[in-house]
Amino acid sequence: MENFDEWFHNILEQANITDSRYPIKGMAIWMPYGFQIRKHTMEIIKKLLDKDHEEVLFPMLIPENELAKEGIHVKGFEDEVYWITKGGQKDLNEPLALRPTSETAIYPMYALWIRSHIDLPKKYYQIVNTFRYETKHTRPLIRVREITTFKEAHTAHATKEESDVQINDFIEIYKEFFDELGIAYLISKRPEWDKFPGADYTMAFDVIMPNGKTLQIGTIHNLGQTFAKTFDIKFEDKDGQHKLVYQTCAGLSDRVIASIIGIHGEEKGLILPPKVSPNQVTIIPILFKKGKEEVLAKCGEIKTQLENKGLRVNIDDRDIRPGKKFFDWELKGTPIKLELGPRDLENNITIAMRRDEEEKIEIALDDNLADKICELLDKTSENLSKSSWNFQNEHVKFTENIDEIPELVESENVVKFKWCGIEEIGKEIEEKTGYDILGIQEEINEGKCIASDNDAKYMALIAKTY
């Protein structure tokens, strides 16, 4: 793609996903087509979380004294919080924060709810809007000031071991989520200076966008006992002792939709993964005066046949040239288009076109039609996933020479390098190259650090980030 940022910006409007002309910077409207994509995406993550977590809904406002309680946490967010200071004409006794995230809303309640070891583990999540007064350049879905679809999970456990297991569970859940969306990802442990404010450690999922920049699309934090101490979240253990809980939290945002659009899309428009596409099949009747009724009737029959298989199907019977319809649905990324004209009807066939591949496939109009379409949709899902992983594999390059990093990053790669793990050296690497260390991928015990005489301890990643 020539200019990804421009393409991204335009496609949101052209495909009716969001409208950013709302008169507040960083806040946009979800338009009908985008809303459907968002809905289906949310259904997937909800289904995954619901297996082992319970959904709740907290108020959007947080009293100043609660937000301020956890010193490290509030320091991390103080420049990003929106405040409500008035009720009508009156100044409020206590300013209320619009949640930038909900630790300080949820944990005072955890302190009330968690009494005994039988109350543990507690695993709640909510899908809400959060507000962050971002000072970096805002971009629709990618860096917004109202995150409209913040999926945040918060857990409390009796032991540190259980909290570490929970981190792995979240990693598995997020993997499954992104696998369903066909999105390749990099998982790393964020460096100390880039972890979530108040966390012991942060695990992050990053994707490589088509311009080579990485986007953090999900984070999982082990909070240790920091918040438990601050909010006095204690339980009586089996041995009668009163102990602090161990906590974790994890979050995803509108960036998930940004990556679906960015990673699968191409010059001509969106290519939507079948699982989240508003229409999985779009039927395009080719109409002439003669035989029009018959063709439309057959399209209706096909629609019902496919819907009975659980597929989402629409018929584009607008009174415009078929070429324009193909163009529109290509832009909107419907996985499969079915063409049906009078001659096809005579031959009892329809022509299927996959959005992710050029080929046209003739399918007989019989009882097997729905099964064949399902097969094609599965192939599409697999193909999208494969391309995404191939792209990522081609765009991660290893080097042992720090001077090579800028050139590699500028030619749209994420760079893998060996690092001793010392914070000072890490910051030197960032300063010298001008890019951000994403984090540590794995521990290693061979070779030297790229920027010091120390032994290498980690394989780390550095990139140009959003």
> Which of residues 66, 206, 254, 339 is near ligand A5A by CB under 6 A?
254
- Residue 192: C-alpha distances to residues 201, 208, 248, 438 (Å): 7, 22, 17, 11
Q: Which residue has the tokens 């070429």?
A: 323
Q: What is the Cβ-side half-sphere exposure of residue 47, based on CA atoms within 13 angstroms?
A: 9
Among 187, 250, 302, 414, the residue binding ligand A5A under the rule CB under 6 A is: 250
Based on the shown chain and the rule CB under 6 A, indicate whether residue 155 belongs to the binding site for ligand A5A.
Answer: no
Q: How many CB atoms lie within 10 A of CB 465?
A: 15
Asked if 74 is part of the footprint of ligand A5A (rule: CB under 6 A), the reply reads no
State how far the alpha carbon of 319 is from the alpha carbons of 116, 443, 452, in Å: 66, 61, 68
Q: Which of 69, 213, 255, 355 binds ligand A5A (CB under 6 A)?
A: 255
- Stretch of 213-221, 240-248, 415-423, 430-438 lying at the interface with ligand A5A (CB under 6 A): 213-221
Interface stretch with ligand A5A, choices 46-54, 169-177, 249-257, 388-396 (CB under 6 A) = 249-257
> Judged by CB under 6 A, which of 18, 219, 388, 433 binds ligand A5A?
219
Closest contact distance (angstroms) between CB of 12 and ligand A5A is 14
Q: Tell me whether residue 109 or residue 444 sits nearer to ligand A5A (CB atom).
A: 109
The residue (of 250 and 340) whose beta carbon lies closer to ligand A5A is 250
Q: In angstroms, what is the C-alpha Rg of the chain? A: 25
Distance between CA atoms of residues 164 and 55, nearest Å: 22
Q: Which stretch binds ligand A5A (CB under 6 A): 11-19, 105-113, 217-225, 259-267?
A: 217-225
- Judged by CB under 6 A, which stretch of 227-235, 253-261, 351-359, 416-424 contacts ligand A5A? 253-261
Residues 32 and 17: their CA atoms lie apart, in Å, by 7
Q: Using the rule CB under 6 A, is 373 a contact of ligand A5A?
A: no
Nearer to ligand A5A, 40 or 190 (CB): 190
> In Å, how far are 3, 20, 48, 128, 144 from 24, measured between CA atoms?
26, 9, 34, 19, 11
Residue count of the chain: 466
Binding window for ligand A5A (CB under 6 A); candidates: 228-236, 248-256, 303-311, 445-453? 248-256
The answer to whether the bond into 121 is cis (omega within 30° of 0) is: yes
- The token pair at 169 is 């569970």
| CB distance 117 to 171 below 8 Å | no
Residue 417 three-state SS: strand
200 interacts with ligand A5A by CB under 6 A: no
Give the one residue of 36, 216, 277, 413 binding ligand A5A; rule: CB under 6 A. Answer: 216
- Min separation Cβ 207 and ligand A5A, Å: 10
Q: What do you get for the CA distance between the two ends of the chain, in Å?
A: 17
* Residue 131 near ligand A5A by CB under 6 A: no
Q: Which of 251, 273, 285, 439: binder of ligand A5A (CB under 6 A)? A: 251
- Please give the sequence-ordered ranges of beta strands (E in DSSP) within 99-190, or none if there are none: 122-131, 146-157, 186-189
Element (H, E) at 31: none
Report how many residues bind ligand A5A under the rule CB under 6 A. 20
* 230 scored as a contact of ligand A5A (CB under 6 A): no
Strand 414-419 relative to strand 458-463, pairing: antiparallel
Scored b (16 or more CB within 10 A) or e, 193-216 reads ebbbbbbbbbbbbbbbbbbbbbbb
**Which of 103, 328 has the CB closer to ligand A5A?**
103
Q: Please tell me whether residue 253 binds ligand A5A under the rule CB under 6 A.
A: yes
CA separation for the pair 379, 375 (Å, rounded):
6
Q: Pick from 49, 173, 187, 249: which binds ligand A5A (CB under 6 A)?
A: 249
Which is nearer to ligand A5A, 458 or 466 (by Cβ)? 466
Q: Which of 218, 273, 278, 439 binds ligand A5A (CB under 6 A)?
A: 218
Span near ligand A5A by CB under 6 A; candidates 89-97, 251-259, 272-280, 441-449 = 251-259
- Residue 152 interacts with ligand A5A (CB under 6 A)? yes
Tokens at residue 424, please? 């000072």
CA 238, CA 322: separation in Å to the nearest integer? Answer: 71
Q: Is 326 helix (H, G, I), strand (E, B) or coil?
A: helix
Question: Do 186 and 396 meet the contact criterion of CB atoms below 8 Å apart?
Answer: yes
> Which residue of the chain is nearest ligand A5A when measured via CB?
251
With respect to ligand A5A, which residue has the nearer C-beta, 174 or 458? 174
Using rule CB under 6 A, residue 73 touches ligand A5A = no
273 binds ligand A5A (CB under 6 A): no
| Contacts to ligand A5A by CB under 6 A | 101, 103, 132, 134, 143-144, 147, 152, 196, 216-219, 221, 249-251, 253-255
